[in-house]
Amino acid sequence: MADGEKPLKKISEAFKDLAATANSQTLEMEVAPFSNACSHVSVLFSCLGIAFKFAEMDYVAKVADLQEASKSIGTLQSLLNHDIEKNCVRKAGSHSRNLLKVKRGLDMVRVLFEQILASEGDSLKDPASVAYAQVLAPHHGWAIRKAVAAGMYVLPTRAQLLKKLNEDEASAKVQMQNYITSSAPVIVYIDKLFLSKELGIDW
């Protein structure tokens, strides 16, 4: 990461724009700004180290697929329609499946930030464990869950994480809260999109 870069600020600003779309009731969310905003979140996974290495690799690959899709598909709605027509919504590697997995990554970061803001002390083990258990663990097999549990013991401390992100405690709190606030309507928007097409979100 270049000196002086503030990834948390980038993330919270990108999601602020998406939240405005999600809250508008009339605008459709476009794939390009959505996937670009999501690409900023990858930095966080890499800062969390080995516990989230698989999540980072998985997330980065899925975001890249959506960025590629954005060259030919305008909105998230048409992305789902496209897969429904091709009857490949649930197939591995489909844009719809990747969108669902990216949404879970965003949700995990949201819960992680909530837990970090609510916790005292320098350890990230509890916040990260809660976020993982709540959002990703139900969709992972035993082997991945075990690997994550082992990785939790080598998470960076809170101070190390903030240093990697070029933030101090006060500025990090503001940006984390901004992301929590702005990512929530985006996550709800995507869930509603899947549910409105009767695709379900637990697969």
Residue with tokens 């919270």: 12
Beta bridge partner(s), residue 75: 30
Do residues 162 and 168 make contact, with C-beta atoms less than 8 angstroms apart?
Answer: yes
User: pLDDT per residue over 140-163, tens digit each?
Assistant: 999 989 999 999 999 999 999 999
Tokens for 30, please give them: 């476009």
Residue 55 has what pLDDT? 84
Do residues 186 and 19 make contact, with C-beta atoms less than 8 angstroms apart?
Answer: yes
Domain ranges of the chain: 7-194
User: DSSP readout, 73-90?
Assistant: --BHHHHHHHHHHTT-TT
Tokens for 69, please give them: 């899709």
Do residues 134 and 126 make contact, with C-beta atoms less than 8 angstroms apart?
Answer: no
158 phi, psi to nearest 5 deg = -60, -45
Residue 53 has what pLDDT? 87
* Residues in the chain, total: 203
Separation of alpha carbons 66 and 42, rounded Å: 14
Pick the closest to residue 41 from 65, 64, 59, 27 (CA basis).
59
30 phi, psi to nearest 5 deg = -90, 150
Tokens for 192, please give them: 């509603």
User: pLDDT per residue over 1-28, tens digit each?
Assistant: 555 689 999 999 999 999 999 999 899 9
Query: What are the residues whose beta carbons fall under 8 Å from the beta carbon of 85, sequence distance 6 or more?
Result: none
Confidence of residue 50 (pLDDT cuts 50, 70, 90): confident
Q: Quick one: fold of 7-194?
A: Glycolipid transfer protein, GLTP (1.10.3520)
50 phi, psi to nearest 5 deg = -65, -30
* Average pLDDT of the segment spanning 173-199: 97
